[in-house]
Chains A and B, each alone.
Chain A
Amino acid sequence: MLLVLAHVAHWYFWPLYALPVLIVLWSVIATTLRERRASREEEKRRGE
């Protein structure tokens, strides 16, 4: 039991390692959505 608790500290730090992944994921998704919206608007403008 003591051994288990002594290693719990390691788990506290995973968000620090996950943060760069989440930032890149967010920027990839945001950029993809922005580009899709821009291309849809472009197509709509061409249609008009």
Chain B
Amino acid sequence: MTFPLLPLAHGLLIGRQDLPIPAWLFAWGASLVLIVSFVALSVAWRDSKLSSDRWRPISERLSRPVTGRAAEILTGAIGVFLLGSVVYAGLEGTDEPSLNFAVTFVFVTFWLGMVVLSILLGDVFRALNPWRAIARTVGGLFRVIAGQPHSAPLRYPERLGRWPAVAGIVAFVWLELIYGTSGYETLGLQPSTVAVATLAYTGYTLLAMALFGVETWLRRGEAFSVYYGMFSQLAPLEVRDGRLGVRRPLAAATQWAVVPGSIALVVATIASTTFDGAQEGLWQEPTRDLFDRLTDLGLGPTAALRTSLSIFFALTLAGVAAIYWAGVRGMRTVRGSPELRSLGRSFAHTLIPIGVAYLAAHYFSLFVFAEQAQFTYLLSDPLGDGSDLFGTASSGIDYGLLGANTIWYVQVAALVTGHVAGLTLAHDRAITVYGDPDRASRSQRWMLLVMVAFTCLGLFLLSQANA
């Protein structure tokens, strides 16, 4: 009878025996922090303080170098150069993903690094956006040649809102997590696939910009502009009418979720990270079972794996949406609540800090380790062909830079901070929606439940992934 002993192969405390207390106790502690925060908000936060972001311009001398024409041309050129580098490295460089600049740059430096920059500095991606730079250059040339500005031939259907961007983000995550890899079996996302996908997205984006107008598409359909734009709502800096200014952190988010597709975008953000964590633990065995069933039915192994993972990704999206809508439905029980859809949209922005928390908790160590590669050997040898442009090609990743406990504490801190920020945004919005602080607090018991559920889920997934 050896097999019943095997389940305890990782030990009684889920493998993290180096922690001073069991991992699950952190979930209890985090929940307690949220409950105390909820009580403190109910008692002390009696008026809405975040309805206005109180933006004020900084001095023209500081603003101009950041927002001037020269800066716009320079940042646009950097964006186009990086886009070209990804395509070139992907097509001409080595097939080994970890040695090719394109893969790490797209999925770590760009995908995760731009989130960090957006939260700290505002909508940086707007300046660096290569598709915007190309479209504006082409538009400028058109104006010179034709003697008139290009006008968009189609009117963007406003009811679509941010849905095209949601589809773009889900497709990107699908490419990264399902087409490329899975939790237990690497199919391998080839650098050439990244290059072809980049080219395809470039063509699609430029066509959409030509049809609907550059600014309209950037606001609604361009997946990365909308995605990073969402995170930039938390930042203390914003360029408004060509002038850089400072504002209250978090406050701009309160005006963000006014268009259709906003809830879906923030749900997709949380669900993507949840799925990535779950496929290393929670979804591992169910995925394997489904994979076996599909291969028994005659599906090839790659198709079976991608189908299984796609189904569990869809389930994760549905699960995250269900947690949020359960909280909104609960809030509806409070007298004087608006109708369900309007209430759901009113509180969607409160999930943005949770999206950040999930990203930080799940990818912190990956980011620290992969960026060492990005700025050493991938920078000097972007094609993986033995070149040494900056003399750092022989450098490696120092995995001793972060201990397991440091990573865990950062993960817990990120989750707790993000959820407290979400709770604060929700409480402030509730005061605006319900008009009186007592009814607002009653409604926010349900958002407390949502926050505790997301915190415990996040910690459960991390404990499994770390085990």
Q: Contact residues of A with B, CB < 8 Å?
A: 2, 4-10, 12-14, 16-21, 23-25, 27-28, 31-32, 35
Contact = CB atoms under 8 A, between A and B. Distances in A.
B8 A21 contact: no
Contacts of A7: 7, 281, 284-285
27 contacts: A4-B285, A4-B288, A6-B6, A6-B9, A6-B10, A7-B281, A9-B7, A9-B8, A9-B9, A9-B14, A10-B14, A10-B281, A12-B7, A13-B460, A13-B463, A14-B460, A16-B24, A17-B457, A20-B28, A21-B449, A21-B453, A24-B448, A25-B449, A32-B333, A32-B442, A32-B445, A35-B442
A2 B7 CA distance: 9
A5 B27 contact: no
A31 B445 CA distance: 10
B27 A24 contact: no
A8 B7 contact: yes
B463 A20 contact: no
Given A17-B24, A20-B31, A32-B333, A10 B6 contact: no
A9 B24 CA distance: 14
Contacts of A21: 31, 449, 452-453, 456
A24 B9 contact: no
Chain B at the A interface: mostly helix, strand, loop or mixed? Answer: helix
A14 B27 CA distance: 11
Given A8-B7, A9-B7, A13-B460, 7 more contacts: A4-B285, A5-B7, A17-B459, A19-B28, A24-B35, A24-B449, A32-B333
Give the size range of B's interface with the partner: 20 to 34
B3 A5 contact: yes
B464 interface: yes
Residue among B282, B288, B453 with the most chain A CB within 10 A?
B453
A32 B448 CA distance: 14
B231 interface: no
Contacts of A10: 10, 14, 281-282, 463-464, 467
Nearest to B35: A24
Contact of B456 (A2, A6, A17, A27): A17
A8 B9 CA distance: 9
Interface of B: 3, 6-10, 14, 22, 24, 27-28, 31, 35, 281-282, 284-285, 288, 330, 333, 442, 445-446, 448-449, 452-453, 456-457, 459-460, 463-464, 467
A17 B442 contact: no
A25 to B, nearest CB: 6
A2 B6 contact: yes
Nearest to B454: A21
A20 B452 contact: yes
A24 B31 contact: yes
Given A4-B285, A24-B31, A31-B445, A18 B456 contact: yes
Q: Which 10 A-B pairs have the closest CB atoms?
A: A20-B31, A16-B24, A17-B460, A8-B7, A5-B6, A6-B9, A9-B7, A28-B445, A17-B456, A24-B452
A45 B367 CA distance: 63
Contacts of B442: 32, 35
A37 to B, nearest CB: 14
A32 B464 CA distance: 34
A4 B449 CA distance: 33
B3 to A, nearest CB: 6
Nearest to A9: B7
A10 B31 CA distance: 21
A33 to B, nearest CB: 10
A12 B232 CA distance: 39
Nearest to A32: B333
Contact of A28 (B284, B448, B460): B448
A8 B286 CA distance: 12
A16 B464 CA distance: 13
A34 B2 CA distance: 52
A48 to B, nearest CB: 22
Contacts of A32: 333, 442, 445
B6 A13 contact: no
A4 B446 CA distance: 37
A24 to B, nearest CB: 5
B27 A20 contact: yes
Nearest to A8: B7
Contact of A20 (B6, B22, B282, B456): B456
